[in-house]
Structure 1
Amino acid sequence: MIKHFLTCCLCVSFTITTIKAQETFVPQKSAEVKIMLDKPVGDMYPMWAWFGYDEPNYTYMKDGKKLLTELAALSPVPVYVRAHSLLVSGDGTAALKWGSTNAYTEDSNGNPIYNWKIVDSIFDTYIKRGMKPLAQIGFMPQAMSTNPEPYKHFWKPGDPYSDILTGWAYPPKDYNKWAELVYQWVKHSVERYGKKEVESWYWEVWNEPNGYWKGTMEEFFKLYDYSADAVKRALPTAKIGGLNIAGTRSENAQKWTNAFIQHCISGTNYATGKKGSPLDAFLFHAKGNPKLVDGIVRMDMSPQLKDISTGFKIASSYPETKNLPIIIGESDPEGCAACGMATNPQNAYRNGTMYSSYTAASFARKYLLADKYNVNFLGAVSWSFEFENQPWFYGFRDLATNGVDKPVLNVFRMFGKMSGKRVAVQSSRMTPLDAIVENSVRGEQSEIGALASADKKTAAIMLWNYHDLDQLETAESVQVSISGIKAKKVTLTHYTIDSLHSNSYEVWKKMDSPQNPTAEQVTALEKAGQLETIGNPQKLNVKEGALEINISLPRQAVSLLKLDW
């Protein structure tokens, strides 16, 4: 075997209790990881290339456009984007958990007035970058709401979450007017972007009707029927789905989900009077549950994975849905992107590498759960974008702060370098699927796991050192044995996210955490936010299709070993 030793330095993760890391270390433990490039287990499809956010008006603002450009560059196929509030009344001024387009108003006689200017500016931003909308049909325009006052909320972090539920969350006064609004929107989209383009989008009705909807279950089904019928009248080949339920694993959510599917299969359609309703994609949500324990963040992947497992299981249980495209409409470590760590200290995982390692470990399990239930898994929307003109590293769940990329975004850059087939992996320290679904990673040892892919002339191995507790430990030695390489020589590039690489947050802290960084500091932060390598690419000899690579992997770090030949 050819042995190549690469080292990286100890990771510094943010916790409420400040823990100082030593700058040098001697690896104390070891893990063995085996990668079998000649044993495919499934496609390396880009289900990770989906993103979403509450505040649609950020889309066309300075940092929003910058981040969307970067997201569009992640994947060789189009990235999908989902945003709330695309039909909400207002002047387009952005605020936390708020957005508006004023797409629908009425004149003094109650006649509809359609204005697509802001909606177009949002979708134009996507289309210009080769992205696709996961177009959310919602929420209720003020002129159409059965309870229009109060309408705009003024929620801020620390306020009761229920304060956001104002007039936009209610059913329409007139379902025919609602249907006509949806019809006109889809018709306008076809006229503006072309039939072929809009056929490639997904449309979906509302968001989390077991929380964001102030009507009954049957009233939501009625809203869905009228919306789906309108979409199909405007473009018969359009794809529409639902229901983006929250807390999928809960008894209440399962009741909603099964009732919705059964309604779409055999219920009486409120709009047409016929049997059933169109359902071209099945959507649900999945969230984890971090807590603060003795001043330290403790993540919990189990609720999120149970949500996913439940959603996949429900979809696979009906002949009519088992082959439908499945989209996890929001898939995150917890449920409130705009709740910063000042008011929600358990969210302190968001700035550093804790978020990175959680993302790597959880997305790997999404592939495995899709394999287990044999479902048509299309995408998982990371409800994480950016918050325009907010304090630096405030602790929002975002991918960038003030135009500077956070460590977590580099995990998606790593995913973008993986293609072809997923291949078999074995790790002496990887938690079995059923165990991590049930208990997350709570033992004395952290998890050292792997996800690997192989294509015609390239392979990629993602490795992570994850534990639910955001504590620092001595970096660990990882022996990576690779077999099935169809080349005699390869070029190895080692990308990593740790305290010294791909980590704008650590660089910002070393600058004494400036809230008004200089232009020179911003440039340095932007550079630190990009995906970095350890050393330069190296040429390695392969013997009998095999190679051994040894690296040191700090707690909460993520590495990608990229082989090219």
Structure 2
Amino acid sequence: MCKLIKYWLIVIALQFCVSSYAQSPEIKIDLKQEIGTMKPVWAWFGYDEPNYTYMKDGKKLLSEIAALSPVPVYVRTHSLLVTGDGSAALKWGSTNAYTEDNKGNPIYNWRIIDSIFDTYVSRGMKPLAQIGFMPEALSTHPVPYRHYWKPGDPYTDIITGWAYPPKDYNKWRNLVYEWVKHSVERYGQKEVESWYWEVWNEPNGHYWKGTREEFFKMYDYAADGLKKALPTAKIGGINIAGTRGKGAQEWTNDFIKHCISGINYATGKKGSPMDAILFHAKGWPKLVDGTVRMDMAPQLNDIETGFKLTMLYPETKDLPIIIGESDPEGCAACGMATNPENAYRNGIMYSSYTAASFARKYILADQTKANFLGAVSWSFEFENQPWFYGFRDLATNGVDKPVLNVFRMFGMMSGTRLNVVSNRMYPVEDILKSSVRGTQSDIGALASKDSKSAAIMVWNYHDDDKPGPTEIVNLFIENIPSKKASLTIYLIDKENSNSYEVWKKMGSPQNPTQQQIEVLEKSGKLKNISAKKIKIRDNKTVVALKMERQAVALVKLEW
């Protein structure tokens, strides 16, 4: 009897050891297991307020974004045709590109649009140029036109005269024609051919106050004006909201069918130009018992649905797909003071969510075979606003937030994407169902290699903004074609690459001194925590990473 008890105690102990070992984070990367191109799908950004572009902190941030990317970054912004004096405000922008004289004759003024596009092009960036919204003189319902929304107000307060169809479609077409013709004259045909153009934003939501057919008509006239000015220009649509929903899918299918075989409202011919497919994808954080709980599932379901819809049609299955807005939730200008579920935005939770979600975007593209070109992170900066107010932005008052450092890491990844094997990385199918809600965090990686280097991004993510154990992640790298290499480790956590924690330790000043600002700016940069030469034995090496909950690391190996 005693021997039997002893036997079962040994069995239980062995099972416990095996179980514990299985949960110890291990990631394996074989540099010969290539799975595709490391497309820079992350190098796309956007924002509501176009006039921030050429302001002090806007220019500074755009310079940083351009510098971190080895390829041209695409930028999308709303309100490029809205009437007004160019004053910046939350959820508002204007360029006064189109007005009319007292006889109804068009007056074109490209000064503000030029200052926006000049800011991009001078930095090697490219517009994802949004044709919208409706100028006051063309709107079928122009009054009221200018809104004065602020955080806490009903979101629909922003919907005014700019959201309505044109009262004259020929004038609308000619506005687009003149804009594109002017762009070619200013920047050159080759440059403008490299841009993407798209019409409007979320026509199935609040942003469009017309019918579905009126939207298609507006699209046709805009596309006709664009192609008359530059036949090789690239245009797409429709930047639908809530892509996974039944209504959004109906809109998308109807739009695709209209572009393939519908009667073009502007030309009377069959079909309408469609050079890219665009849709939106958003997550849904909530406050649960006073704690922020993220939800990646809606965002990834939007993406999977959009990819699959595009693959349904022979005419669209090879078209480039741009996720026109791809974010943890839907309102960048809603701060955490009015929306406490947005408290994730200042710290490292936003960083780890970004790393973990982008990795799954690649996986979904692989699974559906979609031609995934880019995902626009709808996050920029908000000029002259409180420090760390909780906007969804990349920087606050010119100081970089931790999330921008994830994009700095992406900027160091190029070449070929590699297969990743991790015993703690949630399968994408599980995240599509219920995000990351298990007892253990999601510890995974995204890996790439070039001719003489490899880069591996590792994260320790969980939906719940609660403390979790710091874990040692063992990263096994195989088939390194050298006997020696340089190993550099970059880290984003509470102590590294984190201006927010430094600001809090200062006492959260809303009027920091110049010396404090300099400290904050330095702390906002991506920190290298280790750089050394290593010997490679049997073409292998092991890197041990100390990863706290919500941390993100980049391991760079060069030989």
* TM-score band, normalised by shorter chain: over 0.9
| Separation of aligned partners in 2, 1:86 and 1:447 | 40
Superposition map of 1:480-499 within 5 A:
480-499=475-494
Q: For 1:273, which of 258, 261, 268 is the aligned residue?
A: 268
The equivalent of 2:301 in structure 1 is: 306
Is this contact kept in 1: 2:23–2:424, CA < 8 A? no
| Separation of aligned partners in 2, 1:360 and 1:161 | 29
| Separation of aligned partners in 1, 2:488 and 2:537 | 19
The equivalent of 1:284 in structure 2 is: 279
Superposition map of 1:521-560 within 5 A:
521-535=516-530, 537-560=531-554
Superposition map of 1:136-151 within 5 A:
136-151=130-145
The equivalent of 1:479 in structure 2 is: 474
The equivalent of 2:214 in structure 1 is: 219
User: Could you say what secondary structure the match of 2:32 adopts?
Assistant: strand
| Separation of aligned partners in 1, 2:428 and 2:345 | 25
| Separation of aligned partners in 2, 1:113 and 1:438 | 52
Superposition map of 1:455-466 within 5 A:
455-466=450-461
Q: For 1:449, which of 425, 444, 462 is the aligned residue?
A: 444
Q: For 1:503, which of 498, 502, 521 is the aligned residue?
A: 498
Larger radius of gyration: 2
- For residue 484 of structure 1, report the CA deviation from its aligned partner: 1.3
| Separation of aligned partners in 2, 1:397 and 1:61 | 18
The equivalent of 1:9 in structure 2 is: none
The one-letter amino acid paired with 1:447 is D
5+ residue gaps, structure 1: 1-27
The alignment status of 1:326 with 2:321, answered yes or no, reads: yes
The equivalent of 1:72 in structure 2 is: 66
Q: Which runs of 4+ in 1 moved over 2 A?
A: none
- For residue 30 of structure 1, report the CA deviation from its aligned partner: 2.7
The equivalent of 1:367 in structure 2 is: 362
The one-letter amino acid paired with 1:115 is N
The alignment status of 1:230 with 2:225, answered yes or no, reads: yes
Deviation per CA, 1:481-531: give whole Å up to 9, x if none. 110111111111000000010000000000000000000000000000000
Please give the root-mean-square deviation of Cα atoms over the aligned residues, in Å.
1.0
Q: For 1:204, which of 166, 175, 198 is the aligned residue?
A: 198
Is this contact kept in 2: 1:49–1:74, CA < 8 A? no
Q: For 1:97, which of 80, 84, 91 is the aligned residue?
A: 91
The equivalent of 2:515 in structure 1 is: 520
| Separation of aligned partners in 2, 1:351 and 1:414 | 18
The alignment status of 1:85 with 2:102, answered yes or no, reads: no
| Separation of aligned partners in 2, 1:552 and 1:317 | 44
Q: For 1:162, which of 144, 156, 164 is the aligned residue?
A: 156
Is this contact kept in 2: 1:180–1:230, CA < 8 A? yes
| Separation of aligned partners in 1, 2:23 and 2:224 | 60
| Separation of aligned partners in 2, 1:74 and 1:250 | 35
The equivalent of 1:189 in structure 2 is: 183
| Separation of aligned partners in 2, 1:46 and 1:350 | 23
| Separation of aligned partners in 1, 2:498 and 2:379 | 17
| Separation of aligned partners in 1, 2:532 and 2:408 | 21
RCO comparison, higher one (Cα < 8 Å, 6+): 1
The one-letter amino acid paired with 2:506 is M
| Separation of aligned partners in 2, 1:36 and 1:339 | 43
Superposition map of 1:3-14 within 5 A:
none
| Separation of aligned partners in 2, 1:419 and 1:544 | 25
The alignment status of 1:36 with 2:30, answered yes or no, reads: yes
- For residue 29 of structure 1, report the CA deviation from its aligned partner: 7.1
TM-score, with length taken from structure 2: 0.96
My pick for the range that moved more, 473-482 or 341-350, is 473-482
- For residue 474 of structure 1, report the CA deviation from its aligned partner: 2.0
Q: Percent identity?
A: 74
5+ residue gaps, structure 2: 1-21
The alignment status of 1:46 with 2:40, answered yes or no, reads: yes
| Separation of aligned partners in 1, 2:168 and 2:343 | 44
User: Could you say what secondary structure the match of 1:60 adopts?
Assistant: coil
| Structure with the higher fraction of residues in helix conformation | 2
The alignment status of 1:470 with 2:465, answered yes or no, reads: yes
| Separation of aligned partners in 2, 1:453 and 1:71 | 21
The equivalent of 1:244 in structure 2 is: 239
Count of aligned pairs between the two proteins: 538
The one-letter amino acid paired with 1:414 is M
The alignment status of 1:392 with 2:387, answered yes or no, reads: yes
| Separation of aligned partners in 1, 2:414 and 2:536 | 21
The equivalent of 1:381 in structure 2 is: 376
- For residue 543 of structure 1, report the CA deviation from its aligned partner: 1.0
Q: For 2:106, which of 90, 106, 112 is the aligned residue?
A: 112
User: Could you say what secondary structure the match of 2:392 adopts?
Assistant: coil
The one-letter amino acid paired with 2:479 is G
My pick for the range that moved more, 163-172 or 542-551, is 542-551
| Separation of aligned partners in 2, 1:552 and 1:502 | 15
